[in-house]
Amino acid sequence: MATQHPPAPHGNTADDAPAQVCPVTPVLDIVFSRWTTPILWTLNHYGRQRFVELNRNVGTITAKVLTQRLRQLERDGLVVRTYHPEVPPRVEYEISELGLSLAPLFAALTTWSEEHLPEVERARTAFDTANP
């Protein structure tokens, strides 16, 4: 006879996928993928930029990966791409209103990191010393 699990909070069952059980998972997938946060931070900090400027300001990202991430961010509504039909053509990227709505989240994470990263480093050092 199969074991029955009690319902999870909010009516979810124990068989639900993690993304359905934890409402934060889809947000983490969107916002905190490898290059998304540095791209959004750069666009927020420096404002509208051309691809070459953005590539330089983000850092060690390759042009191919930057292109992929920008397309995904545009698809997600977090970045706006503007094409100017000039000679030569000009394309600019800027953070959208939806992207700007993430500012309080990034500010909270910055505060948390300033307050707690030293504690994390101490815990890591203690763990590594106790577990050579």
Domain boundaries, the chain: 22-98, 102-132
Is residue 107 predicted with pLDDT exceeding 90? no
Residue-level pLDDT at 67: 96
- Split at pLDDT 50, 70, 90, the class of 109 is confident
Beta-carbon contacts of residue 29 (< 8 Å; ≥ 6 apart): 19
Residue-level pLDDT at 5: 44
Is residue 111 predicted with pLDDT exceeding 80? yes
- What φ, ψ does residue 117 adopt, rounded to 5°? -60, -40
Q: What is the largest CA-CA distance in the chain?
A: 72
96's enclosing H/E stretch is none
Residue-level pLDDT at 71: 97
Q: Judge whether 57 and 49 are in contact, CB under 8 Å.
A: yes
Residue-level pLDDT at 132: 87
Is residue 82 predicted with pLDDT exceeding 90? yes
* DSSP code string of 7-68: PPGGG--TTS-HHHH-TTHHHHHHHSSTTHHHHHHHHHHH-SEEHHHHHHHH-S--HHHHHH
Question: Which listed CATH number (1.10.760.10, 1.10.10.10, 1.10.3720.10, 1.20.200.10) goes with 22-98?
Answer: 1.10.10.10
The per-residue pLDDT for range 9-62, each reduced to its tens digit, is 454 444 555 546 888 888 888 888 889 999 998 999 899 999 999 999 998 999
- Split at pLDDT 50, 70, 90, the class of 6 is very low
Query: SS3 sequence, 60-106?
Result: CCCHHHHHHHHHHHHHCCCEEEEEECCCCCEEEEEECHHHHCCHHHH
DSSP, collapsed to helix, strand or coil, labels residue 4 as: coil
